[in-house]
């Protein structure tokens, strides 16, 4: 495989015996990953990070254990790591010691780098023949502008790979003991951003249709617009008593969950001094937390095997 071969992909183990194209180089964990990894993992055929390529990699919601093996493989090989604000130190610590680390997020109220500057930087380093890892929180293609960055690479003729990550709207909920879907509460879920580039609630969204069309709504970047969003949902007919949960710093040691209702959310958030980053979930599925808060159970919470009260209803009607 040459430096610009677009077939930079894992190769099945039996390909090594001769089925593989002659110019294709097979790289194993053993080449790419630290010796400290368990032996079994080294036999996986993970791809080589080719010089001059950019990998757009999702780092998950925060817990390093939620990184994919592809992400760890990328960290071990990258020459340059361009990372966002929500990627933690422990994850960054997996980069090669001599890797160049470039911060591309917003911190301490300072203005964030322009998207086009970030994309230009990726192109510039790739053109220098570097292995460029663009490390983004959650999944690069979920409210993360990964698509824009990838298109800039296409425009510049740079080869790239995308490594999905666990998005906060799914993984973060799991860590709060809230399933994104559950048969008894919702067969659909809507993911929505509460924030436009200009800082307002997205106006090009039909909020009434969203409120009426999906029993569960998971909102990213919505905390600062919670008053508007709850008002829109109430006006669209969602019940004031509908459960709402906010999950801050999901999957991290200081994860905090606030359970409230549509009518009380704004008041309760203010009273708790709840701050970003947070995922907000609206819908009856939040009630499942009484049975599924596995992190709470680690600290002694007694879980309810019938959080929706369905068995109790059955018994009452029997």
Ligand X SMILES: C[S@@+](CC[C@H](N)C(=O)[O-])C[C@H]1O[C@@H](n2cnc3c(N)ncnc32)[C@H](O)[C@@H]1O
Q: Which residues contribute to the site for ligand X (CB under 6 A)?
A: 61-62, 86, 136-139, 142-144, 167-168, 172, 220-221, 247-251, 276-279
221 is an active site residue = yes
Quick check: helix, strand or coil at residue 258? strand
Write down the catalytic residue from 63, 79, 84, 293.
Answer: 84
95 or 281: whose CB is closer to ligand X?
281
Give the CA-trace dihedral at 62, 63, 69, 71, to 10 degrees: 20
Catalytic residue check, 84: yes
- CB neighbours of 106 closer than 8 A, spacing ≥ 6? 85, 112
Query: Buried b vs exposed e over 109-119: b needs ≥16 C-beta within 10 Å?
Result: eeeeeeeeebb
> Which is catalytic among the residues 7, 106, 127, 311?
106
Helix (H) or strand (E) holding 70: helix 69-77
Minimum Å gap between C-beta 47 and ligand X is: 22
CB 45 within 8 A of CB 28: yes
Residue the block writes with tokens 């950019």: 54
Nearer to ligand X, 56 or 72 (CB): 56
Tokens 């039909």, residue? Answer: 206
Give CA–CA dist 136/126, Å, rounded. 17
CB of 166 to ligand X, least distance (A): 8
CB of 175 to ligand X, least distance (A): 8
| Catalytic position from the list 1, 75, 221, 288 | 221
To ligand X, the closest distance from the beta carbon of 221 in angstroms equals: 4
Report the residue number, 76 or 167, with the smaller CB distance to ligand X.
Answer: 167
Would you say 132 or 173 has its CB closer to ligand X? 173
Catalytic residues, which ones?
84, 106, 221
């Amino acid at each position: 495989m040459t430096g610009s071969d677009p077939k930079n992909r894992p190769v099945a183990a039996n390909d090594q015996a001769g089925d593989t194209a002659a110019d294709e180089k097979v790289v194993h964990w053993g080449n790419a990953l630290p010796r400290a990894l368990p032996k079994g993992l080294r036999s996986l055929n993970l791809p080589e990070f080719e010089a001059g390529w950019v990998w757009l990699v999702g780092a998950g919601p925060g817990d390093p254990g939620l990184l994919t093996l592809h992400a760890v493989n990328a960290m071990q090989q990258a020459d340059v790591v361009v990372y966002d604000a929500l990627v933690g130190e422990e994850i960054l610590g997996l980069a090669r010691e001599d890797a160049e680390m470039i911060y591309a997020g917003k911190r301490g109220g300072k203005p964030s780098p322009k998207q086009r500057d970030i994309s230009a930087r990726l192109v510039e380093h790739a053109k220098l023949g570097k292995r460029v890892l663009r490390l983004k929180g959650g999944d690069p293609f979920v409210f993360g502008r990964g698509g824009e960055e990838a298109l800039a690479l296409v425009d510049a003729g740079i080869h790239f790979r995308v490594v999905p990550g666990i998005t906060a709207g799914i993984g973060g909920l799991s860590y709060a003991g809230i399933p994104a879907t559950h048969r008894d509460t919702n067969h659909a879920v809507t993911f929505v951003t509460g924030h436009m580039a200009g800082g307002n609630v997205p106006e090009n969204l039909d909020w009434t249709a969203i409120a009426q069309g999906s029993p569960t709504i998971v909102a990213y970047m919505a905390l600062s617009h919670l008053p508007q969003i709850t008002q829109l949902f109430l006006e669209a007919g969602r019940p004031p008593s509908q459960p709402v949960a906010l999950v801050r710093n999901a999957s991290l040691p200081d994860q905090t969950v606030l359970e409230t209702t549509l009518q009380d959310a704004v008041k309760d958030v203010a009273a708790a001094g709840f701050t970003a980053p947070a995922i907000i979930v609206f819908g009856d599925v939040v009630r499942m937390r009484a049975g599924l808060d596995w992190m709470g159970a680690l600290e002694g919470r007694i879980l309810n095997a019938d959080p929706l009260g369905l068995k109790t209803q059955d018994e009452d009607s029997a």
